[in-house]
Amino acid sequence: MNLELSEEQEAVRRLARAFTEREVSPYAADWDRAESVDRAIVKKLGDVGFLGLTVPEEYGGSGGDHLSYALVTEELGRGDSAVRGIVSVSLGLVAKTVAAWGTEEQKRSWLPRLCSGEALGCFGLTEPGTGSDAAALTTRAVREGDAYVITGSKMFITNGTWADVVLLFARTDPATPGHRGISAFLVPADAPALTRREVHGKLGLRGQATAELALDGVRVPASAMLGPEGKGFSVAMSALAKGRMSVAAGCVGIAQAALDAAVSYAGQREQFGKPIAHHQLVQELIADISVDVDAARLLTWRVADLIDRGRPFATEASTAKLFASEAAVRAASNALQVHGGYGYIDEYPAGKLLRDARVMTLYEGTSQIQKLLIGRARTGVSAF
Ligand code: FAD
């Protein structure tokens, strides 16, 4: 793997950094306090090309590579994880999955709008009773003529109240328990009998629209099914494997922001007659953050490189997601420590970084689930 970025990738990184510094970072603390990112950011993300970055050009995307995608998600994550998540879900989990599994009609119908930001996507897998054991989901889709009628509920859905389309997973064959009886659907979010309720009181990602969805007999045409009947779990897992790369990249952004904040504060704050950067134990905290940033970034770039070369990448994606998410929590916590008492108030960024980082070890597969996936790949034995 060549660690030198191409000119195009450097340009994408510059663009993402300038966009984040202009449109995201200055507002992140206010959005966090207000519990809502300014929705105008969606159109801006579409206009700059980030919502269609890796979608083929013929469907309105930029046809970019995954390393470029990792660079963009890192920069956005450095500014505000709530904004980074909008892109990771709408592009990474929804648009990319429509591009990979969709019929020509589904691609023409949804992709140009998702890429431009005219429409936003959300990913409806988790339910109130099923998270890690997603294959046990109970939402039902019953065939009635040339339609399916869907009933059930979904929990913790990122972009949930903002989205125009839900990539929804439901059981089409109740006689087949587990992953084989599940199918995927593209459900318009304004469908009658679909209600959405925002989840409040989150520890972090407070600006992000996280929702609970209730489906009470939502009727969609049979043509709304994404991928073959009974293959919905494969659709979900293919989306999440790539999604883990963008979560990892977002975590690199958090860790980098933690490093920036810790270095800046350590250079200014004086104790015992000199800047605290002169104290060796403060340098140790900063060195630990720095190592986490580098290691997490390298693991993330390896996944992007494997995807771009068409090589298997699932275990490497779990490895990067596991390491980078735990590293982001450590880095943010270390940065808070460097700030002393001031790290504990929201005038400084370390507290928000820590709160936002904390969910990264939970969603898109908890750290325990990533370890089981890596363990299964190494031993050939499934512990599920
Ligand atoms: P559980 O599965 O109940 O796990 C509880 C604990 O048990 C965890 O520590 C877990 O690691 C452990 N555990 C479970 N099974 C095992 C096992 N076999 N071995 C060892 N340990 C185990 N979901 C979506 O579908 N779409 C989204 O957009 C989305 N966005 C989210 C946004 C936020 C802010 C949050 C908090 C969650 C989001 N989720 C989303 C849901 C997320 O993916 C789940 O919360 C996650 O998969 C964990 O499921 P759970 O919360 O039910 O925990």
131 CA → ligand 1 middle, Å: 4
Q: How far apart are CA 84 and CA 357, in angstroms?
A: 12
Q: For ligand 1, is residue 158 a contact (CB within 6 Å)?
A: yes
**243-274 pLDDT per residue, tens:** 999 999 999 999 999 999 999 999 999 999 99
Where helices occur in the chain by DSSP H, the ranges are 7-19, 25-34, 40-47, 66-79, 81-87, 96-101, 104-116, 232-268, 280-308, 314-338, 350-358, 367-379
Tokens of 52: 């269609």
Q: State the pLDDT at residue 325.
A: 98
**Cβ proximity of 164 and 116 under 8 Å:** no
190 CA → ligand 1 middle, Å: 26
Q: Which CATH superfamily is domain 233-379 in?
A: Butyryl-CoA Dehydrogenase, subunit A, domain 3 (1.20.140.10)
Q: State the pLDDT at residue 205.
A: 98
Within the chain, which residue ranges are assigned CATH 2.40.110.10?
Answer: 123-230
Q: For ligand 1, is residue 161 a contact (CB within 6 Å)?
A: no
317 CA → ligand 1 middle, Å: 17
Q: Which mutation among 88, 122, 132, 206 tests ligand 1's pocket best, with the greatest number of atoms within 8 A of CB? A: 132
Q: Which of 366, 370, 353 is CA-nearest to residue 82?
A: 353
Q: State the pLDDT at residue 210.
A: 98
Q: How far apart are CA 135 and CA 117, in angstroms?
A: 31
Q: For ligand 1, is residue 131 a contact (CB within 6 Å)?
A: yes
The string over 213-242, giving b where at least 16 C-beta atoms fall within 10 Å of a residue's C-beta and e elsewhere, is bebeebebeeebbbbebbbbbbbbebbbbb
Within the chain, which residue ranges are assigned CATH 1.10.540.10?
Answer: 7-119
361 CA → ligand 1 middle, Å: 9
What is the share, in percent, of the chain residues with pLDDT greater than 70? Answer: 100
**8-23 pLDDT per residue, tens:** 999 999 999 999 999 9
User: Ligand 1, closest atom to CA 367?
Assistant: 11
366 CA → ligand 1 middle, Å: 6
Q: For ligand 1, is residue 125 a contact (CB within 6 Å)?
A: yes
133 CA → ligand 1 middle, Å: 8
**Active-site entry in 23, 75, 212, 364:** 364
Mean pLDDT, residues 95-117 taken together: 98
**Per-chain mean pLDDT for the chain:** 97
Q: Does domain 123-230 have CATH number 3.20.20.150?
A: no
Q: Whose CA is nearest to atom 15 of ligand 1?
A: 132
Q: Which CA distances in Å does 175 have to 137, 154, 178, 209? A: 13, 21, 10, 35
**79-95 pLDDT per residue, tens:** 999 999 999 999 999 99
**Is residue 284 classed exposed, middle or buried when 0-12, 13-18 and 19+ CB atoms within 10 A define those classes?**
exposed
Q: How far apart are CA 69 and CA 363, in angstroms?
A: 19
Q: How far apart are CA 145 and CA 30, in angstroms?
A: 50
**158-168 pLDDT per residue, tens:** 999 999 999 99
Q: State the pLDDT at residue 176.
A: 87
Tokens of 51: 């919502």
User: Ligand 1, closest atom to CA 160?
Assistant: 28
CA 24 from centre of chain: 17
**35-67 pLDDT per residue, tens:** 999 999 999 999 999 999 999 999 999 999 999
367 CA → ligand 1 middle, Å: 10
Q: For ligand 1, is residue 314 a contact (CB within 6 Å)?
A: no
Within the chain, which residue ranges are assigned CATH 1.20.140.10?
Answer: 233-379
Q: For ligand 1, is residue 160 a contact (CB within 6 Å)?
A: no
Mean pLDDT, residues 96-111 taken together: 98
Q: For ligand 1, is residue 368 a contact (CB within 6 Å)?
A: yes
Q: Which residues contact 301 (CB under 8 A, 6 or more apart)?
A: 1, 3, 67, 70
User: Ligand 1, closest atom to CA 204?
Assistant: 34
Amino acid at 53: L
Q: For ligand 1, is residue 359 a contact (CB within 6 Å)?
A: yes
Q: Whose CA is nearest to atom 26 of ligand 1?
A: 157
Q: Which CATH superfamily is domain 7-119 in?
A: Acyl-CoA dehydrogenase/oxidase, N-terminal domain (1.10.540.10)
Q: Which CA distances in Å does 58 have to 16, 62, 112? A: 23, 9, 9
Rg (CA), the chain: 21
> Is 364 known to be catalytic?
yes
